[in-house]
Amino acid sequence: MVGAGAMNRMIAIEAATKARDPVSNEIIRLWELFTNSWAYRRDMTAREFIALGGRNSEQTATFTIWNQPGITREMRINDNGQIFEITGIVDYGLKLQLQAVARNSEEET
């Protein structure tokens, strides 16, 4: 497991909310800060990438953070402007491991 000293990146965990667009009157999804957390980020290795079929349209990473209640797979990670969808959560007691994917897409919402 990752030591506390390795958690050297500040990430934002964001939760989706819904609002009404004042122009179109449509319901839109907005992202609001749920919490900030120190994290350790481990990107997928080249060997893991090839084993999964080498899909170059996405980047997979695992973030280890201090356990914070309420984090769900419906949330996302903002790592210095790079947006990751949370695809899995493993609870290790004091720490959480968040598996996440950043897809190369024009739309980040």
Q: Is 26 helix (H, G, I), strand (E, B) or coil?
A: coil
- The first and second tokens of residue 63, run together, are 């973030």
Is 109 part of a structural domain of the chain? no
Looking at 3-107, which runs of residues are DSSP E strands? Answer: 9-20, 27-43, 58-66, 76-79, 82-91, 95-103
**Does pTM top 0.85 for this prediction?**
no
Is 96 part of a structural domain of the chain? yes
Structural domain count of the chain: 1
Is 30 part of a structural domain of the chain? yes
Give the model confidence (pLDDT) of 43-100 as tens digits: 976 555 555 665 556 789 999 999 999 999 999 999 999 999 999 999 999 999 999 9
Is 68 part of a structural domain of the chain? yes
- As to burial, measured by CB atoms within 10 angstroms (0-12 exposed, 13-18 middle, 19+ buried), residue 35 is middle
Is 20 part of a structural domain of the chain? yes
Residue 72 is part of which domain span? Answer: 4-103
Q: Maximum distance among all alpha carbons in the chain? A: 49
Is 78 part of a structural domain of the chain? yes
**16: pLDDT strictly greater than 80:** yes
**30: pLDDT strictly greater than 80:** yes
Residue 97, C-beta contacts closer than 8 angstroms, at least 6 positions apart: 62, 63, 64, 89, 90
Average pLDDT of the residues in 28-37: 95
What does the pLDDT read at residue 2? 74
**103: pLDDT strictly greater than 90:** no
**Domain harbouring 25, CATH code:** 2.40.10.270
What angle is formed at CA 13 by the lines to CA 21 and CA 63, rounded to 5 degrees?
145
What does the pLDDT read at residue 44? 78
**108: pLDDT strictly greater than 50:** no
